[in-house]
Amino acid sequence: MGTVLKGGYVVELEPALVERVDLRIEGDRIAARGPDLQPGPDDEVVALSGKLVFPGLVSAHHRLHMMLGRGMPQPALETYQESLERVRWRYENALDLDAVQVAGTAGGLEALQCGTTTLLDLHSSPKAVTGSLVRLARGLHEVGVRGVLSYAVTDRVGAVGREEGLEETVSFAKKAKGRFRGQVGAGPSFTLSDDAFQGLTEALHATGTGLHVPLAEDPLDERLSMERHGASPVARLLNANLLSPRTLLAHVGHLAWADLAQVIATGSWIVHTPRSNQGLEVGYAPALKFGARATLGADGVSADLFAEAQAAYLRSREAGQPIDVLRYLTNGHRLASQVFEAAIGPMREGALADLLVLDYQPPTPLAAGNLAWHVVYGLGSRHVEAVMVDGVWRVWARRPLSVNPTVVAEQAREAAASVWGRMAEAG
């Protein structure tokens, strides 16, 4: 038994293509593509009547645990360092395992409703490390999102906390399967000792995965790395042989060209986070210079990759260095395909069936040549009508099928109140 999507316009991003064609889904894969597919006797037929069939989107750097921090009271802050020490790190210290799972469910649901089907998440909950990635995966599993999860190993909570983080990230990576995979995660370079770098190297060898680490989000990263460890973040990563085509570097907003050129030469993925950069006031990232393996992530804001793509393009154009927004989105699919060792993104036979049905009525002709302009100036998460992940409908007629959004929101508000309360108790 399969599902046949008939009468839709199938969209591919690179090379750009908009084609009126049918798709047949069988199991977790696209089984056939053609201009007039004939359904089998047991097939479900979905008449799309000219709606768009779009690849599910990928947030290549995400922080689901920040979901419960949205709108929390904050002190007046002047610097990036203050935002870390007085807000983000205190918030992370207040998370418990129940809050982690609730954040996973709420964040995963929001992602689905925005058309984002894959999240590469960098998690941190220093007071609740052991089991945190499993609980995060359970939260995502409830709504059906695909996840690549890692724990942000750091020395800021001491050697014991560092070793707990390494153990958690290795343990999860070894047992993740199905819609989940693990990576080795790390905090900013200035929070990592030489022992932590050695531990990360050993964890990568033990798991056979890649590294997920923030880099140069703010000039503070290089300044403190030099003061504390006598070398720049890029030099330390290179010396430890931690940069490779399996490495995921988030932010990368403040590197000298010589350092950026070395990073690009290693084949590492670079994740641009424009809305997060704006929120933290850390300046323009030189996205046009990020090379052929650059993509997008939402970091701690909503997993709306349509909004992220629009912000990235408009921000880059304002800076006089416009990026190829379709390539940025497609690179998210390439990254996910690399991690899951299966095609994700192409609307072709054999690819995993992660896709969106968009109720977008273009006011002008929509074709390959102007697809990017429709993405930047027209398409949005408001057009997401249905979402399929692994061949299973997870959203239909704009309604999630496996969870009650009202219940999820109520649970998230309760968990957020508890986390905020613990922050207040800790001063």
CA distance 152 to 64: 13
Tokens of 183: 């990576």
Query: Which tens digit of pLDDT belongs to each residue from 248-261?
Result: 999 999 999 999 99
Q: Using the CB atoms, write b or e for 382-410: b if 16+ within 10 Å.
A: ebbbbbbbbbbbbbeeeebeebeeeebee
CA distance 425 to 57: 39
Check pLDDT > 80 for residue 427: no
Tokens of 192: 């990592």
Quick one: 390 and 312 in the same domain?
Answer: no
Check pLDDT > 80 for residue 77: no
pLDDT of the residue at 416: 98
Domain limit, last residue, from 340, 364, 382? 340
Quick one: 148 and 278 in the same domain?
Answer: yes
The DSSP string of 8-28 is: -EEEEETTEEEEE-EEEEETT
Strand order in the sheet with 16-20: 16-20, 9-13, 52-55, 355-358, 384-389, 392-396, 399-400
281: number of Cβ within 10 Å: 12
Quick one: 266 and 383 in the same domain?
Answer: no
What's the domain range around 26?
Answer: 3-55+344-400
Quick one: 33 and 96 in the same domain?
Answer: no
Tell me whether residue 269 is in a domain.
Answer: yes
Question: What share of the chain has pLDDT > 90, as a percent?
Answer: 95
CA distance 291 to 200: 26
Residue 219's pLDDT band, with cuts at 50, 70 and 90, is very high
Domain limit, last residue, from 340, 361, 381? 340
Quick one: 92 and 216 in the same domain?
Answer: yes
Q: How many domains does the chain have?
A: 2
pTM beyond 0.95, yes or no = yes
Quick one: 241 and 327 in the same domain?
Answer: yes
Check pLDDT > 90 for residue 74: no
Quick one: 84 and 184 in the same domain?
Answer: yes
Quick one: 329 and 224 in the same domain?
Answer: yes
Quick one: 44 and 80 in the same domain?
Answer: no
Check pLDDT > 90 for residue 20: yes
Quick one: 222 and 80 in the same domain?
Answer: yes
Contact 208, 244 (CB under 8 A): no
Tell me whether residue 176 is in a domain.
Answer: yes
Tell me whether residue 420 is in a domain.
Answer: no
Quick one: 361 and 315 in the same domain?
Answer: no
Tell me whether residue 411 is in a domain.
Answer: no
- Cα 122 to Cα 30, 186, 377, distances in angstroms: 30, 8, 30
Query: Which tens digit of pLDDT belongs to each residue from 256-292?
Result: 999 999 999 999 999 999 999 999 999 889 999 999 9
Quick one: 114 and 162 in the same domain?
Answer: yes
Q: Read off the DSSP letter of residue 384.
A: E
pLDDT of the residue at 4: 97
Tell me whether residue 220 is in a domain.
Answer: yes
